[in-house]
Amino acid sequence: MVVGTLTVDVDVLVIGSGPGGYVAAIRAAQLGKSVVCVDKAEVGGVCLNRGCIPSKALISAAHRYESALQGSEYGINVGDVKVDWAKVQEWKNGIVKKQSGGVGTLLKGNKVQFVSGEAFFVSDSVVSVATESDSTQYKFNHCIIATGSRPIELKAFPFGKRILSSTEALSLPEIPKSMIVIGGGYIGIELGQTYAKFGTKVTVLEGSDTILPGFEKELSRYVGRSLKKSNVDVVTEALAKDAKQTDTDVTVTYTVGGEEKQVTADYVLVTVGRKPNTDELGLQAIGVKMTDRGLIEVDHQGRTSVPNIFAIGDVVPGPSLAHKATYEAKVAAEAIAGQPSAVDYKAIPAVVFSEPEIASVGLSETEAKEKGVNVFSGRFSYGANGRAQSIGANEGFVKLVGDKDTGLLIGAQIVGAEASNLIAELGLAIEMGATVEDISLTIHAHPTLGEIVMDASEVALGHPIHIVVK
């Protein structure tokens, strides 16, 4: 790396340090490249600082609180249970700080230079990075864009003191008495359900006919029942029109079934999707092709229309998932190093950290049938599993979808405790070309939730042990 007074020459410049950016920087460095990683905010990006990690910390805290309240069911009386919200936030922030510091250590340990600043393309080989004190130009051989996304802001619901994005909702100074969630996707349900567990009266307004519209209704139905138990009002096919704010609350006007209604709460949380951070990089001027939505068009290695510039994660087409960004990061870095790596989206798991959790990978039975696959499937309930009963997690099921002509596992859906962890086995099975019989013949430890996967495979094959087939 040659450093001059105004210009730094570098093999690979990575813009963004989230789960795509920092992984791309480390992998490129491992492959012998000199690497600079730039981010205008904290190391770790949105996922680590204002998304995945802090939200899961709050979800975990909410579960612990709920478990303490329900301890008497297990013969455990803990007395007067109270939430120290300041302590909850302190604990959550401590996890974020530790994780961010860990990523910084990984970058440093792999000899990746991290620069805090805002990047802008001067040409197809030069990026200007403005910091608080100066501006430096980086001349690169290759660049990887990993700038992620941000919450969509609705014109009628501008973010402010009472109207929040997911970022502000993670750091509220107090537990709200009431909250309106606009959008019943995974972010809205996760955060809305978390605050409901802490005692907030939550109303969810969802435009489609079901919450979690990206998942099979037989999965989201369980979450809907759980929301009802937590006294959450879910209004589907609802169109939020406007909001009127005061110093203490906000009133949302919405229509449902042709009727106009209103609901008032302390806060409104808007979770209607995210938009890619591509609009302030100067990409159009250097000829990088993008879609109408601002997503960057890439090939099977993450290469853009400008051959030495790559893009990964939320800024390219496909689901906005941290693990997808991480996967694409390794492919892009290896492609830059001359390796024949290419993306293969055969099995990207999707997870909702709701109550109960939802996870899916591969094709659903509906999707498989639409593709003309000769389908067979097997489903087994949590309630029939000893481990599930022993931890009070009777709600849910595991469903496996196979190709009857080949016996191959082509999809899996789970709703229930630890679904986020159980789905990994099934993703691996699909990736390696395992059959449903392979899962049946794999010895699963007892007593574990993993046995539900084995039992579901036996149902699919027609010889279940732990249920009676009529």
Question: CA angle, 110 as apex, 302 and 50 as ends, to 5°?
Answer: 65
149 is in an annotated binding site: yes
Strand partners, 38: 15, 115
Q: What share of the chain is helix, strand, coil (3-state, %, to 5)?
A: 35, 25, 40
Taking Cα atoms as reference points, which of 160, 228, 197 lies closest to residue 81?
Answer: 197
Task: Please indicate if the annotation marks 178 as binding a ligand.
Answer: no
Catalytic residue among 63, 142, 300, 446: 446
Alpha helices (runs of H) in 31-139, residue ranges in sequence order: 45-50, 52-69, 85-109
Instruction: State in Å, rounded, how far the first CA of the chain is from the last one.
Output: 71
Encoded amino acid at 405, one letter: D
Nearest to 44, CA basis, from 81, 110, 96, 108: 96
d(CA 242, CA 443) in angstroms, rounded, equals: 56
Rounded distance between C-alpha atoms, residue 469 and residue 167, angstroms? 49
Q: Among all chains, which residue has been given the structure tokens 């809907």? A: 224
Read off the amino acid at residue 187.
I
> Per the annotation, does 144 bind a ligand?
no
Q: Determine if residue 187 is labeled as part of a ligand binding site.
A: yes
Task: Say how far residue 145 (Cα) sits from the centre of its chain.
Answer: 19
Residue 281 CB neighbour total at 10 angstroms:
20
In the chain, the amino acid numbered 131 is T
Neighbours of 428 (CB within 10 A): 12
- Any known ligand binding at 184? yes
Alpha-carbon gap, residue 100 to 61, rounded angstroms: 20
Which residue from 44, 299, 210 is spatially nearest to 312, judged by alpha carbons? 299
The residue behind tokens 């006294």 is 231
Two structure tokens written together for 20: 């795509």
> Does 185 belong to an annotated binding site?
yes
Residue with tokens 């249920």: 467
Q: Give the type of residue at 44.
A: G
Peptide bond into 356 cis (omega under 30): yes
In a 10 Å sphere around its CB, with 0-12 CB exposed, 13-18 middle and 19+ buried, how is residue 383 labelled?
middle
444 catalytically annotated: no
Do 65 and 84 contact (CB within 8 A), yes or no?
no
Q: Does 183 show up as a binding residue in the annotation?
A: yes
Which candidate, 44, 51, 50, 56, places its Cα nearest to that of 20? Answer: 44
Q: Is 56 annotated as ligand-binding?
A: yes
Q: Which of 63, 51, 58 is nearest to 91 (CA)?
A: 58
Binding site for FAD, by residue number, is 56, 147-149, 314
Binding site, by residue number, is 56, 147-149, 183-190, 206, 273, 314
Catalytic residues: 446
Binding site for NAD(+), by residue number, is 183-190, 206, 273
